[in-house]
Structure 1
Amino acid sequence: MSLQVENRDLNFIARNLLAGGIAGMVSKTTVAPLDRVKILLQAHNRHHERNGVFSGIRHIVKSESLLALYKGNGAQMVRIFPYAATQFTSFEFYKRWLHGVFGPNSHIDKFLAGAAAGLTSVTLTYPLDTIRARLAFQISGEHVYTGITHAAVTIFREEGGARALYRGFVPTLMGMVPYAGLSFYCFEYLKFGCMKYLPAYTCKPCKQNTGGLVLLLPAKLICGGFAGAVAQSISYPLDVTRRRMQLALMSPETKHYAKGMVSTLKFIYREHGVVKGLYRGMSINYMRAIPMVAVSFSTYELCKQLLELDTGLNH
């Protein structure tokens, strides 16, 4: 009997990892061009200091190529599959373990499960995010790195070993708690609300699902988009801090951003203020984060249905 349960658990984990990984890859590829422009704006790349969202995209296409909009996306895919797979799967486990701890009608367990899932996944995959940011920051004709392996080896050898690959990790962890926690909390809360109060407009029957209902695709996208907007609004300054620290040693003029999280926050605020510093690139972040989170949750929910994961771990 215990062997049967163990096999079912392993089967669930494998299918959940696949569903989460696919969701991450689809969502990140969807917004990859906006992601690259966001990185260039956040870190004040000298070629894009006067550019906005659309002028930045036009500049990349004109000065580099259409394909350059996806620069760094290869590293992103290498990172995002294990990241999203780990995040969604660990969320299911944390949610199960915390279920009912704060009462039958509380959603605090969803926030804590989401935050813990975010911390778990980012800890395992952070070096790949640093590499991806470095590759995306490069401008054609001024390449420092030739690819993922070369970037990893160069950063490791020349910037202080493994510690260099985790530069900006502390603000990432601090930002991940509200970001992942609120993303999962808002999505689960809105999903619950749709199923309870608006099932005729937002849901359809599903025999495989334990609740008998699943959200319609438009409802999934709306719930996911709103969750992404709320989470990003609160955690964005720490995301800017992380990027500046990750990219600090790519230019002598920005070396002072490598000293630590608090000093980096102070430098950003002192040099650029709140709107043009701590929230620089926020408009493009909304444009990318809202559809990215919407597509991510929607794809994950669809994959769960296709892989018959809606019954969860309730053996």
Structure 2
Amino acid sequence: MSTLSPTSTNQNFDFVVKNFIAGGVAGMCSKTTVAPLDRIKILLQAHNSHYKHLGVFSGLREIVSREHFFALYKGNFAQMVRIFPYAATQFTAFEIYKKHLGRLLGNRTQADKFIAGSCAGVTAVAFTYPLDTIRARLAFQITGEHIYTGIVHTAVSIFNDEGGLRALYRGFLPTICGMIPYAGFSFYSFEKLKYLCLKYFPNILCSSCDKNTGGLVLTIPGKLLCGGIAGAIAQSFSYPLDVTRRRMQLAMMNPATHKFSIGMVSTLLTIYRENGITKGLYRGMSINYLRAIPMVAVSFATYEVMKQFLNLDTGIKV
């Protein structure tokens, strides 16, 4: 029976801590970058009465006009409280899963990166989902029509009035179903694109780095390009389930939308019957590309920069 030496244990702990920090910083930077687009996306997805007839940019202007500039960032503090542990857990879990799956499946397949990404996404969501529900409720509120006064009040109100912990996890199933392709394709696509850039475009999108074991790293534009494309691919597959999740999370805020609280399949079918594919299941998709592409690009780019800064390129030894 093999045991880890004290040196290996310290290296593993150091690896986990550094990845946790790198992932958390990457998540906070990426979400803050697109916070205004995140808010208008939620308002459009859930057909808010004040904004449902507007487009992306007219909606952003209306938020500033109806409320105020900082209303563009409504719910962003709750997002930061959620996104640091979420992104930190996701990136750290991905690196660990990737190492173990790589050894298990060998180098003959690229499936390890897709599976590792999916598992990492599910792990992160399971730990932080209630904060996503709270953030969505706060972002959906309109100035002058507030139901909740803050993160704690929102959590307590949902827990007491809507059925306890189960209410905080409403929409969890479609989130998990959407997370599997989203996180899987995000990580797989980024890793694949990164590899292709390092192999075929070393003089254009790469630069030398003494810390990196391979001697090359992506430049900042290279990181952003790979991350942006990866985000677009992932969102195309998972978006209808993201819409379903939002409708379920916000169902109890209006008597007319209580019908979306029953279950994932019922909500998905109701959205399809009432609004169809383009105006229902893919409603807000244009803004989702506008937010998802820079969000994922900044997330991966920041994470890669933090990995270089924290000297994480050599990975973990277990």
Task: Give the TM interval when normalised to the shorter protein.
Answer: over 0.9
Aligned to 2:239: 236
Aligned to 1:79: 82
Task: Report 1:212-223 matches (<5 A).
Answer: 212-223=215-226
Aligned to 1:170: 173
Deviation at residue 102 of structure 1 after TM alignment: 3.6
- Equivalent-residue separation in structure 2 for 1:120 and 1:305 (angstroms): 25
CA contact (8 A) 2:16 2:92 kept: yes
Aligned to 2:159: 156
Task: Report 1:190-209 matches (<5 A).
Answer: 190-209=193-212
Q: In the alignment, does 2:139 pair up with 1:141? A: no
Aligned to 1:25: 28
Deviation at residue 314 of structure 1 after TM alignment: 4.1
CA contact (8 A) 2:12 2:317 kept: no
Q: Does the C-alpha gap of structure 1 residues 100 and 10 become closer, same or farther in structure 2, counting only changes over 3 Å?
A: closer
Letter in 2 for 1:137: F
CA contact (8 A) 2:243 2:281 kept: yes
Tell me, what secondary structure is at the counterpart of 2:6? helix
Q: Which runs of 5+ in 1 are unaligned?
A: none
Q: In the alignment, does 2:128 pair up with 1:125? A: yes
Letter in 1 for 2:212: N
Moved more, 143-152 or 190-199: 190-199
Aligned positions, number: 315
CA contact (8 A) 2:113 2:184 kept: yes
CA deviation string 1:188-235 (max 9, x = no partner): 000011111111111111111121111001010000000000000010
Q: In the alignment, does 2:63 pair up with 1:63? A: no
Letter in 2 for 1:135: L
Match of 1:54 among 44, 57, 68: 57
Deviation at residue 121 of structure 1 after TM alignment: 0.2
CA contact (8 A) 2:8 2:317 kept: no
Match of 1:6 among 4, 9, 14: 9
The percent identity for this pair of structures is 67
- The alignment yields a C-alpha RMSD, in angstroms, of 0.9
CA deviation string 1:225-264 (max 9, x = no partner): 0000000001000000000000000000000000000000
Q: In the alignment, does 2:131 pair up with 1:113? A: no
Tell me, what secondary structure is at the counterpart of 1:214? strand
TM-score when normalising by structure 1: 0.99
CA deviation string 1:15-48 (max 9, x = no partner): 1100000000000000000000000000000001
CA contact (8 A) 2:90 2:124 kept: yes
Q: Which runs of 5+ in 2 are unaligned?
A: none
Match of 1:94 among 93, 97, 102: 97
- Equivalent-residue separation in structure 1 for 2:108 and 2:55 (angstroms): 44
Aligned to 2:44: 41
Aligned to 1:304: 307
- Equivalent-residue separation in structure 2 for 1:233 and 1:104 (angstroms): 28
Letter in 2 for 1:162: L
- Equivalent-residue separation in structure 2 for 1:292 and 1:139 (angstroms): 24
CA deviation string 1:128-152 (max 9, x = no partner): 0000000000000000000000000
Aligned to 2:190: 187
- Equivalent-residue separation in structure 1 for 2:173 and 2:31 (angstroms): 23
